[in-house]
Amino acid sequence: MDFHNALNNILNPPVLFFFLGMGVVFFKSDLRITEGVSKFLSLYLLFSIGFKGGHELFKSPFAEEHLLTLIACMFMACFVPVYSYFIFRFKLDHANSAALAGSFGSISAVTFVTAGAFLHSYGFEYQGFIVAGMALMESPAIVIAVIIDRLGKKKQSGNPSEKIQWKQLLHEAFFSSSVYILIGALLVGYLSGESGWNTTKPFTEDIFKGLLTFFLLDKGIDAAKQMRELKKVGFFLVGSTLIIMFINVVIAIFLTKIIQMPVGDALMFVVLCASASYIAVPAAMKDSIPEASPSIYLTVALSIVFPINIIVGIPVYFYLLKNFMGNN
C-alpha cells in the first residue's frame, strides 16, 4: 500500500477541517454553524456537482460503457438494501434493519464530492454520467427499505391491510430537495452547454473546494455529536458495517473491471457503493419508518461509514483500482 496517498488525503484541507469540526465537540468550543448555513452548503455542493456533471455530459457522447455503469448503479442501489437487511436482522428488529439497510443502499453525496476533490489533486477526472448514476442510486433504496419494513410488519401482525402510501413515498424518494437539485442542475448544465458553464464556472468550480472545506467542518461537528451514540450502536453494528462496506467495495471493483471503467469513473463508482446516506434516507425514514431509531441509522452512516471513507477509504480504493486492479 502506498501510504503517501493516504497521508496526502488526511493532510488535505477538507479532511483536516473535518477533524477540526470534531474538535469543536471534544474541546467544547462555542463554535456553531446554523442549520440554514449547513443547508445552503449542502444544496450548493449538490448544485455544483450536478451542473458540472451536466456540462461533462454535454461534452462527451453517450457510450455503451456509460449505459453499463448506470445499470451497475441501479443494481447496487437495489441489491445492497436487500442483502444488508438480512445481516442486520441477526440483532435488530425489522424496522431498524430496514432503515439501516436503506442508508447503505443509498449514497453520500459529500463522500462523492470529497472523492472528486481527491481525484482532481492527482490529475484525474470523472465523467458526467457518474453524477447521473449518483442520482439514480439515491432514491431506490428508500423505496425498497419502506417495502421491506411494511412486509415485515404485515408478517408480524398478520394484518393484510398494512399498506404502503405509494404517492407520499415516491414523492419523497424522487422529489426530495437533494434529488431535485441534483437532477435539475444536471439538466441545466447539459442544456446550457459551454456558454452556461463559462457563466457559472466562478461559482460552480472556483470556490467549490473552499465551500466543501467549510461543509466538512460542519459535518465534523455532526459526526462528533453522533459519536456519543456509538455505545448504543454496539460492537455488532460496527462489525456488520465494516463487513457490508467490504462486500460493497469488492462487488463494485469487480463491476468496474467487467465494464472496464477508467480509474476516475471507477473510484467514484466504488465510493458511491461504499458510502451510506445520512441526509436523504434519515429524512425519509423519519416519516416512513418512525419506529426506527435515528441514533442507530444516523450514527452508523455519519460517525462510522463517512469518516472511514473520507479518511482512509478513498485513498485505499484509489490504490486498489490504479495499481492492483490495473485500471487506466
Q: Give residues with Cβ within 8 angstroms of 254, minimum separation 6.
A: none
Cell of 253: 471493483
- Measure CA of the first residue to CA of the last residue in the chain; give whole Å: 18
Residue with cell 448544465: 189
**CA distance readout (Å), 229 to 91, 296, 298, 323, 325:** 17, 8, 10, 38, 37
Q: Give residues with Cβ within 8 angstroms of 84, minimum separation 6.
A: 100, 101, 104, 105, 244
By the 8 A CB rule, do 100 and 83 touch? Answer: no
Highest mean pLDDT among 170-184, 267-281, 282-296: 267-281
H/E element, 267: helix 263-274
Q: Mean pLDDT over residues 249-277, rounded?
A: 94
Ranges 18-32, 144-158, 181-195: which has the least confidence: 144-158
Q: What pLDDT is stored for residue 258 in this prediction?
A: 92
Q: What pLDDT is stored for residue 272 in this prediction?
A: 96
Mean pLDDT of the chain: 86
pLDDT at residue 162 greater than cutoff 60: no
Question: For residues 22 and 4, which has the higher predicted lDDT (pLDDT)?
Answer: 22
Q: Cα(174)–Cα(315) distance, rounded to whole angstroms?
A: 31
Q: Residues of 141-176 as b/e, b for ≥16 C-beta within 10 angstroms?
A: bbbbbbbbbbebbeeeeeeeeeeeeeeebeebbbeb
Q: What pLDDT is stored for residue 276 in this prediction?
A: 94
pTM of the full structure: 0.85
Ranges 20-24, 48-52, 314-318: which has the least confidence: 48-52
DSSP 173-241: HHHSHHHHHHHHHHHHHHHHHHHHHHHHHIIIIITHHHHHHHHHHHHHHHHHHHHTTHHHHHHHHHHHH
pLDDT at residue 9 greater than cutoff 80: no
126-143, pLDDT tens digit by residue? 888 898 888 888 888 888
Q: What pLDDT is stored for residue 83 in this prediction?
A: 96
Of residues 306, 214, 217, the one with CA closest to residue 21: 217
By the 8 A CB rule, do 123 and 264 touch? Answer: no
Q: Cα(170)–Cα(163) distance, rounded to whole angstroms?
A: 14
By the 8 A CB rule, do 278 and 303 touch? Answer: no
Q: What pLDDT is stored for residue 56 in this prediction?
A: 80
Ranges 52-61, 66-75, 122-131, 300-309: which has the least confidence: 52-61
294-323, pLDDT tens digit by residue? 888 888 998 899 999 999 999 999 989 987
pLDDT at residue 164 greater than cutoff 80: no
203-262, pLDDT tens digit by residue? 988 898 899 899 889 988 988 888 777 777 788 899 999 999 999 999 999 999 999 999
DSSP 47-64: HHHHHHHHHHHHHS---H
pLDDT at residue 97 greater than cutoff 80: yes
pLDDT at residue 1 greater than cutoff 60: no
Residue with cell 425498497: 144
Q: Where are the alpha helices (DSSP H) in 27-139?
A: 35-59, 64-88, 94-105, 109-121, 129-138
Q: Cα(182)–Cα(189) distance, rounded to whole angstroms?
A: 11
